[in-house]
Amino acid sequence: MTPKMPESFHIIKRQGKPVIQGRPMFEEWFRKYPEDTVFNAVFTRKGNSRSGNQNRYYWGVIVESFRHGAKEEWGEFLSKQDAHETLKANCLFQEKVNETTGEIIRIIGSTTENDTWDQEEYHDKCRNLIQEFFGITVPLPGEQMEIF
């Protein structure tokens, strides 16, 4: 019987070499497989969760800038949630292609899964969208902001 594999093992780069956290458990699990077993390893960088400052900046500056642009350009008052969903739909998505028809569908991501690096990339895409679409320059964190 094949042992149940843990959901993931964490590997840290130390002095240029991989160090497996929980190595004894990993080796015990690994030994139970027959020779020539092929494994698929997927490496993703584990980052810190997005910060509270990033969250406050996003909702207080980016989302509000989008809402202001929508009000000025479209005459529409968007809720914070509607602005957030619109930003995600345009800046945080993956495209999936139907190989048979060539049709493309967008899978919208979630900001709650972003680490600090991913959240900064998302913020950059949002700032660019707001600049290109509404002509509003969204200040970077810590920059002075013009009050609308």
* Tens-binned pLDDT, residue by residue, of the chain (148 aa): 555 656 567 777 788 888 887 778 788 888 888 999 888 777 666 666 778 888 999 999 999 999 999 999 999 999 999 999 999 999 999 999 998 999 999 999 888 878 888 899 999 999 999 999 999 999 998 876 665 5
Could you tell me if residue 29 is inside a domain?
A: yes
**Contacts (Cβ under 8 Å, ≥6 apart) of 4:** none
Structural domain that includes position 35: 1-46
Residues 102, 60 within the same domain: yes
Task: Report which residue type is found at 111.
Answer: T
The pLDDT tens digits of the residues spanning 82-95 come to 999 999 999 999 99
What contacts 135, CB < 8 A, 6 or more positions away?
Answer: 69
Tell whether 84 and 105 lie within a shared domain: yes
Token representation of residue 140: 């970077």
